Amino acid sequence: MTNQPTIVIKNPTWWKRRTNLERNLTIVAGGMLLASSFLALALSTLYFNHSCNMESLPSISAENNGLIGKSRGRSLFQNREYEKDNICLTTGCVKAAASVINNMDPTVDPCDDFYQFACGNFIKETIIDDDKTSQTTFSAISDSLLNKLRMIVTEPIQPNEQKPFKMAKLLYKSCMDKEKIEKEGLGPIKEMLKSLGGWPVLEADKWNDAEFTWKDSVYKFRVAGYSVDYFIDFSISTDLKNTTTRAIDLDQASLGLSREYLVKGTDEKIVAAYYRYMVDIAVLFGADRQRATKELRESLDFEIALAKISLPLEERRDAAKLYNPMKIADLQQKFPSIPWQEYLNKLLSPLNIRQDDIIIVNSPKYLSDLEALLSNTPKRIQANYVIWRAAAASVSYLTEEMRKRQLDYSTELSGRTEREPRWKECVDISSGSFSLAIGSLYVRRYFDENAKKNALEMVNGIREEMYKILGSIDWMDEETRKNAIDKAKSMTSHIAYPDELLDDSKLNAFYENLEVNDNDYYTSILNLTKFGTDYSFSKLRQPVNKSDWITHSKTAIVNAFYSAIENSIQFPAGILQGAFFSSDRPRYMNYGAIGFVIGHEITHGFDDQGRQFDKEGNLVDWWAEETKKRYLEKASCIIRQYGNYTAHEVGLKLNGINTQGENIADNGGVKEAYYAYNVWTKRHGVEPRLPGLQDYTPQQMFWVSAANVWCSKYRPETLKNRITTGFHSPGRFRIIGPFSNLEDFSNDFRCPLGSNMNPVKKCQVW
């Protein structure tokens, strides 16, 4: 998958977060709003979200041939010597054993540092490719997936090829045609910037501020296919208190660099790098360097001011505080300097705003502060800022000279020193832009249907364990417990792909109004972006279908999701393979890997954010006050625990508040998967051991498999960015944290009380 920095297109609120496995920096240097990210986001507009970055694996049945059959029906307490002699020698078992042994450092005491024990050799031996920001279990599977997608998009177009498949291949072809892109040069983009109102730093004294208003720039961006979110984030989302309907959502602006960096000002080295990048790109477009240095510093100061009036991530976790419904009359009264009727109609066109339309304002204070900021900022500064954002969003699709400067900036942000091969970037753009079409071809050609069946079996078993946990915890009152169990049982599952994805007529109907060719790459990208925006905004008055096949058709990706507003979990086809899942290896490997992921997503329904929504996905407080208080105390323990972890490579402590949702999901998820595996074992018998690892019991190998999912090596710059802006803890702490909280782990490895992996004080929510 491409590692180029991408623009965050729609992220009005936490439940609409990106799902890109945190591959790409939140910091934006390029990526047009674009095709790969924008359309994908438009298709999942109200889906979400918690992504966990994981996968699912098919498991072995007791009826399989070979030595596995010998263990059928045996007790967990059978003769240990017999167990150690019962070795699985299938190809899958040999491969699984080799992978574990390659990752493991057996010289480390598992009770001292289990992550180092399970992943120490991976960390020692792994060299991060020059074009990557990190090397992880996920990246290895993503690379394998990308090779398959490459075979799909490079096949010759057939005379009777369906339009969606043909367009995906044409986009790839035009992306690969560097000669044509170089020949076009910057002419098309310069004409576009002029039509958007002109970039003052380029036009110098010729630019006329009388012809510019910030809102007119937004209207022009909407028509052209650029983002409309650079002053006010605008989207159509599900009404959180009535998830059968949609609402207009207004939020703080999308920024070119993460707020967490911008608020530190130019003393922060990443902000300084961003500023140098702004100036250099303007100069490459033809600006005078001295003018660019002065004017774009003013532009940067304006963006820093936008960051400072924006809510920090820590204050965006309470959905109720972000839910401020208004009618258009309320909006006009509270924020009178903006012509809301005109503004909303221009963005929604061809729809028109109605007096009874619900408008959700995430941060009323942001809009008030924005009014004041705009009234005190000269038009030239506003124009320089917003046209800079359009220019930056276009760089990835322009000349090699531009892209080389983008790479230099990316190196300062992420540490990677090379762009990925052009074919990888183009496959990613094509498959991201045409996720339904490419996903359909991927499923038809490569997906093992047995994986879908086995994943469903695992999902059902792990859900059963969540029901038991909810039914037995001693800090819940009975009414809240009943509601929690109802929510868990109401959770819907989307596994692998929807059947409609294989229906060519449905695919053709979806892409009917889109045109892409191989003659003009830049224009095709803009067409795709506008297509995605049109699709997303057209949903305003359409009823919400929580099982809509389009929303759940991103299949060729390595990730998994929970949607609070759907109360659903999703495991795309792309994650049901590799280290996460194989039908030709013991189930303890699968339950430890994809089972951990499944449990993680289920638990998201009950993390600090998911718990705010009821079984229908509505923002409803269904918790008794005393039980809520106990929950928050338990969540605080997790916050403190992870907040005290330090990533010594970069000398940074984790942000326990921002990562609490993912940490709660990790802690509950691995526990549910472990219990589910033990239930499976009681039904089917003890499984054979892996060759070369016969000293480890199936239960111990469950934990090893779970740890192997998170073996990770990061560049220091990437690790710093992940800790500063991310919602997931780095791989080490996704193992150390949950495992040290679970007595089952300590029992399986006989860790003495008081050891690092068996502390006296433990945290547990679920």
Active site residues: 601, 666
Does residue 668 sit in helix, strand or coil?
helix
Report the alpha-carbon distance of residue 5 to residue 407 in Å, rounded: 9
| Residues contacting residue 448 through CB under 8 Å, at least 6 positions apart | 58, 576, 577, 583
Distance CA 560, CA 581 (A): 13
SS3 per residue for 227-251: CCCCCEEEEEEECCCCCCCEEEEEE
- Could you tell me where the beta strands, DSSP code E, fall in 581-708? 646-647, 652-653
Give CA–CA dist 665/616, Å, rounded.
20
Output DSSP code: residue 170.
H
- Whole-number Å distance between alpha carbons of 258 and 255: 6
Give long-range contacts, CB 8 A cutoff, 24+ apart: 624-632.
624/477, 624/479, 624/480, 626/477, 627/475, 627/476, 627/477, 627/480, 630/475, 630/476, 631/475, 631/765
CA distance 337 to 44: 33
Rounded-to-10 torsion of CA 303, 309, 314, 320: -130
Identify the CA nearest to 679 among candidates 407, 401, 469, 389.
Answer: 469
The answer to whether 271 touches 265, Cβ cutoff 8 Å, is yes
* Residue keyed to tokens 């702490």: 733
What does the angle CA 82 – CA 84 – CA 89 come to, to the nearest 5 degrees? 110
The pair of structure tokens assigned to 452 is 């879908």
